[in-house]
Structure 1
Amino acid sequence: MQVDFYQLGGAPSDGIVASIAAKLIDEGQRLLIVSADEGALARLDRQLWDQSAASFLPHGLAGGADDASQPILLSLGTDAPNRARNMLIADGEWRDAALAYDRAFYLFDAETLEGARLAWKLLSGRDGVERHYWAQEEGKWVKKA
């Protein structure tokens, strides 16, 4: 399983979430986006709806009747009724449940940096876990480790 750590500089997370989600959808994959902050999930919901007609990202908020059919599901929890094999942690709080997925995207900022460092260390040397660290340089994501 692969964990991609994304350190958010001053940029809002909405853009990277939409970018990752779009790439996965293009590849025919499903995504579970997790946050403990309902307000953040509502903002992400609006962001994904407000994409242009050419780049609309089909999604839903967990708890609806159509959860199983959603390519992208935004949720407070770590279960994926949409059968996603990819989890994106949008609130900077690492969850070990991510290790049950094929790939996890872990977004963190200055406020959650210490938690990200701890998660990086805890995942070091774990069998079957491949870690990558990404940071923004001049508006582009650059793989640092």
Structure 2
Amino acid sequence: MINENRRERGLTLIEIVVTLVILGIVAGVVGRPLISVIESRTTIGEAASRQADIDYALGRMASEIRLSSDTETVECPAPPPTDDTVLSIGDSEYSLNSSNGQALLLNDEVLLKNVDVFSCKELDPSLRLYQLEIKVPDKSDNYSVRAFKRIP
């Protein structure tokens, strides 16, 4: 009768401790790869977002060059520029500003943050061909795009 009462009361402290130790080991084994997957996904997401921001900035500038009217001038100052203005298209001015950690600005509004170098080169004046380049600190390669200004 004593054995029957003891079994009905529940689990012993040793059984609970052993169960917790086994659950801790299983959680440690399963948890480490999950944390790595979550960290990798976050890093990949940030890189993809950064790439999209760079593509947007270059695409916007290239589109503005392509769609500019014949009366709007496209000016790429000879390197190094005398001021921070790197590209001027009609009323739009693209420049680098180092006060906020090197930001690419469009008319004093931040277009792209964390830019090392932004350059504009007129490759062929007769074709009205321009090359735009952006270099960011965390990558060894440059991002670039070429744009033709429409011929009227």
| TM-score (normalised: structure 2) | 0.24
Name which structure has the greater RCO, CA cutoff 8 Å, separation 6+: 1
| TM-score (normalised: structure 1) | 0.25
Of the two, which has the highest radius of gyration?
Answer: 2
Determine which structure has the larger helix proportion and give its number: 2
